[in-house]
Copies of this chain bind each other. A is one copy, B any other.
Amino acid sequence: MEKKRIYFDHAATTAVRPEVISAMLPIFEDVYGNPSSFYNEGYAANRYIEQSRQTVAELLNVSPKEIFFTSCGTESDNWAIKGTAFSKQKKGKHLITSTIEHHAVLHSMQALEKLGYEVTYLEVDGYGLVDPRQVEEAIRPDTILVSIMMANNEIGTIQPVAEIAEICRAKGVLFHTDAVQALGAIPVSPHDLGADLMAFSGHKFYAPKGVGIMYIKRGVRIANFMDGGAQENRRRAGTENTPYIVGITKALELALAAMPEESKRLIALRDDLIRQLQSTIPYTKLNGHPVKRLPNNINLAFEFIEGESILLLLNELGYQASSGSACTSGSLDPSHVLLAIGLTHEIAHGSLRLSLGKENTKEDTDKLANDLPGIIERLRLMSPLYADFKRGKIKNIIPEEGTDILKGALTYEV
C-alpha cells in the first residue's frame, strides 16, 4: 500500500516547509534564553523576535508596533473580538458578524452573548458573499465591532472587506477581519484594507501549527486577551515561543515571495479540476463563488451521497481531503457555511473540499479527476436516495449538468 499520497487539504493545515524547520532548529538548540532578560542568551532570543516582527511588518507594509505574535489564528480571533467587547462596553454591547465565519469567530461571539452582549449575524448570498450595505444597515449607535472574514475556509469566497472597512471607518466602528485563509494566498495589506484588527495563522502557509499573528492598527486600544507578563509590548503575555516566531516569519517570507506565480498556477489547476469534475460527474454543484475565490479552494457537492464516505474512499486511493459533513462531531448538522449559502442538509452532507498547495501538480489533479468519478458512482450505487431517484420516486436538486448556485432548493421527502 505504499502509493504516493496526494495531499489536498491545505486549507486545514500544511506541512512545515523544510526551510522553516531549518530556521527553527538552531533556535531550539541554542537560543533558549528568556527574551526578557539581562544576559547574552536572552538578548539573542529577543533580537530574533524583534527582527521577526520587523520582517513581518515589512512584508505586510505596516509598523512593527502593529504586529503581535500569538499562539494561533483562534487566539487572534478571540483577542480581537473579546478584547474589543471588554474594552468598549461603555460604548455598547452590540457586534456584527456573518453566518459563515470560522468557529473561532462564531464561538467567541456566542461566548459574549452569554455575557449579555448582542450579536447580529448577517446572512450571505448563494455564493457566500456578505453585502456591505447590510453591514451599514446593521450598524447601530451601540455597535462596537464588525467582524467579517477576508476569505472563507470552506468555500473559498473572498469578501468585499475593503468596502466593509470603509463603512466601519465612516461610522466609527472597529473592523476586524479573520484573514487566516487569505494570508499567503491573496494579497493582504492591512493599511490599504483599512482594517483595525486582523487575525493570521502560520500553519496555513507552511509554518507550524500553534503560532499566529495579530495585527492591531496603531492607536487602536483593545483589552488584552492573554493577561500576564509584559511580553509583546505588554499586550500579549506568555513566554515568547522564539522558534515558532522565527518559523512563521520565514514561512511568510517564502509564501509571499512565491505568491504571484503560485496563485496563478493554483487558479489554473483549480479551474481545470473543477471543469473536469463537473463535466464527468453529474449532479455536482460548485460551492462558493466561481471567481471571487481563493486560488486553492475547490468545494463541490455531489448529490445523493455523503461526504465522509467519499473521504474514506479517497484515503484508500491515497488522497487527503475534507468534507462539510459533520455527523462525526456529534452534531447532526453539516457545515454551517454550506447551510448558510442555501444548501439543504442532504446536499451539504455530500460535499467535498479539495484545497491545493505548493506540492500539488497537474498530474495530481488529473489523477484525481480520473479517480473521483468512480468513487462517486460507487457510493451512489449504494445510496437508497439515488435508487429512489433513478426509479423516479424523488427529484434531483442539483441539475444533471451541474451548477454553481442553487436557490430555494427543496428537501427530499423519503
Contacts and interface: CB of A to CB of B under 8 A. Distances in A.
A5 interface: yes
Nearest to A69: B210
A240 interface: yes
Contacts of A74: 226-229, 237-239
Interface string A220-258: 000111111110000001111111100000000000000
Contacts of A39: 9, 311, 314-315, 319-321
Interface string A85-122: 01000000000000000111101101100110000000
A242 B104 contact: no
Contacts of A200: none
Nearest to A102: B228
A411 interface: no
In this complex, the interface size class of chain A, counting residues with CB under 8 Å from chain B, is 35 or more
A361 interface: no
Contact of A37 (B25, B115, B322): B322
Nearest to A107: B227
Contact of A241 (B77, B209, B228): B209
A28 B42 contact: no
Contacts of A104: 227-229, 237-238
A145 interface: no
Contact of A315 (B38, B78, B224): B38
A28 B41 contact: no
A251 to B, nearest CB: 12
A78 B228 CA distance: 8
Contact of A16 (B32, B75, B228, B240): B32
Contacts of A16: 28-29, 32
A241 B70 CA distance: 13
Contacts of A156: none
Interface string A30-64: 00111001111110000000000000000000000
Nearest to A225: B78
Contact of A239 (B13, B15, B37): B13
A210 B86 contact: no
A110 to B, nearest CB: 7
Contacts of A242: 209
Contacts of A108: 227-228
Contacts of A38: 308, 311-312, 315, 322-323
A103 B237 contact: yes
A339 interface: no
A14 interface: yes
A315 B43 CA distance: 11
A78 B73 CA distance: 18
A10 B8 CA distance: 43
Interface of A: 5, 7, 9, 12-16, 21, 25, 28-29, 32-34, 37-42, 71-75, 77-78, 86, 102-105, 107-108, 110-111, 114-115, 201, 203, 208-211, 223-230, 237-244, 308, 311-312, 314-315, 319-323, 329
8 contacts: A9-B33, A16-B29, A28-B208, A38-B315, A110-B227, A208-B241, A209-B240, A209-B242
